[in-house]
C-alpha cells in the first residue's frame, strides 16, 4: 500500500458529492437543455432553491425581496453565478466538519480563492467556471487528511497554519509521505472532475517550470485568499507567487486592494 492509499483505504469515510449536483452543473452548460428542466431540479432541493433565491434577492443585485420564482432568480443572477451557487452548495453539503479546521474560515478562504480565480480568468480569457471550481476544490486534501488521519494532521499543524495549503505541502511530505494537493487531486479523479483541474492542484506552487495557465490562476488566487483571511497585506502575495506570473496577468499596482473589495462582495453572496 502506498502512502497516499492510506487516505483512500476506507471509502466509507470519504465525502461524496451528489450526482444530482454534478448532473445539474453540466446541464447549465448545455444550451439544448430547457430552463424548465433546470428549474424543476433546483426546486426539488429546498436548500439549493433557497440559496438561489437568497442570492437573487441580495443587495448585490438590487432586487431585495422582490424575487420569489426560481426562473426569475436565474434571470437575475445569470448562468455563471447559478453554476457557482450549484457547485458551492453541493460541496458544502458533501463535506463534514474536520477536526483541527475552523470550517467557517475554511469556506471563506475557499470562496475567496474561487472568486478571485474566476475574476482573473475573465481578465485573461480563461474559462471562469473551471477557474472557480479549481479554487473551491483546492483545500479538499487538507480536509481529508484531518478527517481520516486526525492524529497525524494534529502533528502537521504544530509546524504550519492549518489553512496554509502551500506551506503545508513540504511538511506533509516529510511527515506523511504525501501532501494535501496529491490527496485533493486523487479525490477529484475519483469524482471524475476534469484532469486539468487535478493538474492545477498538483502544480500551482511550482517555480520551475511554472504551472500552466490554470495553475497560475490558482497560485495567485490562493495566495490572495490566504492573505485576506489571515489579515495580511499584498506584500504577502508577492512572497508566495512568482513575479513572472503577476507580470503575465498584467495586474495593475493596486490590483490587490481593488480585487479584495470585489471578491469579498461575491463571497458574501454565498456566506450568511
What whole-number distance in Å separates Cα of residue 124 and Cα of residue 85?
A: 23
Mean pLDDT for the stretch of residues 78-85:
90
CA distance 176 to 162: 15
pLDDT at 229 over 60: yes
Q: Which of 55-69, 84-98, 182-196 has the lowest mean pLDDT?
A: 55-69
Domains of the chain: 1-94 (no CATH), 98-272 (1.10.3210.10)
pLDDT for 272 equals: 57
pLDDT band of residue 11 (cuts 50, 70, 90) is low
**Percentage of the chain with pLDDT > 90?**
53
Reported as a pLDDT band with limits 50, 70 and 90, residue 38 is: very high
pLDDT at position 71? 93
Q: How far apart are CA 17 and CA 19, in angstroms?
A: 6
pLDDT at 76 over 60: yes
Per-residue pLDDT band for 70 (boundaries 50, 70, 90) equals very high
What rounded mean pLDDT belongs to the chain?
88
- The b-or-e profile of 37-67 (16+ CB within 10 A means b, else e) is ebbebbeebeebbebbbebbbbeebebeeeb
Amino acid at each position: 500500500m502506498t502512502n497516499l492509499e492510506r487516505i483512500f483505504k476506507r471509502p466509507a469515510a470519504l465525502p461524496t458529492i451528489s450526482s444530482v449536483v454534478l448532473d445539474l452543473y453540466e446541464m447549465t452548460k448545455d444550451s439544448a437543455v430547457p430552463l424548465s428542466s433546470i428549474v424543476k431540479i433546483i426546486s426539488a432541493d429546498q436548500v439549493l432553491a433557497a440559496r438561489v433565491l437568497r442570492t437573487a434577492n441580495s443587495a448585490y443585485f438590487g432586487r431585495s425581496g422582490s424575487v420569489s420564482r426560481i426562473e426569475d432568480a436565474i434571470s437575475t443572477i445569470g448562468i455563471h453565478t447559478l453554476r457557482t451557487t450549484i457547485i458551492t452548495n453541493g460541496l458544502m453539503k458533501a463535506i463534514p466538519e474536520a477536526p483541527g479546521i475552523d470550517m467557517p474560515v475554511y469556506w471563506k478562504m475557499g470562496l475567496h480563492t474561487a472568486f478571485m480565480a474566476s475574476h482573473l480568468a475573465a481578465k485573461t480569457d480563461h474559462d471562469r467556471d473551471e477557474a472557480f471550481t479549481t479554487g473551491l476544490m483546492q483545500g479538499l486534501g487538507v480536509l481529508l487528511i484531518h478527517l481520516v488521519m486526525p492524529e497525524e494532521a494534529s502533528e502537521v499543524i504544530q509546524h504550519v497554519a492549518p489553512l496554509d495549503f502551500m506551506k503545508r505541502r513540504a511538511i506533509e511530505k516529510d511527515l506523511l509521505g504525501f501532501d494535501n494537493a496529491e490527496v485533493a487531486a486523487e479525490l477529484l479523479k475519483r469524482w471524475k472532475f476534469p484532469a486539468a483541474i487535478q493538474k492545477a492542484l498538483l502544480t500551482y506552487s511550482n517555480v520551475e517550470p511554472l504551472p500552466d495557465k490554470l495553475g497560475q490562476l490558482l497560485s495567485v488566487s490562493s495566495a490572495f485568499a490566504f492573505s485576506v483571511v489571515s489579515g495580511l497585506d499584498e506584500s504577502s502575495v508577492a512572497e508566495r507567487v512568482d513575479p513572472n506570473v503577476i507580470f503575465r496577468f498584467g495586474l495593475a499596482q493596486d490590483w490587490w486592494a481593488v480585487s479584495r473589495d470585489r471578491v469579498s462582495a461575491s463571497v458574501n453572496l454565498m456566506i450568511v
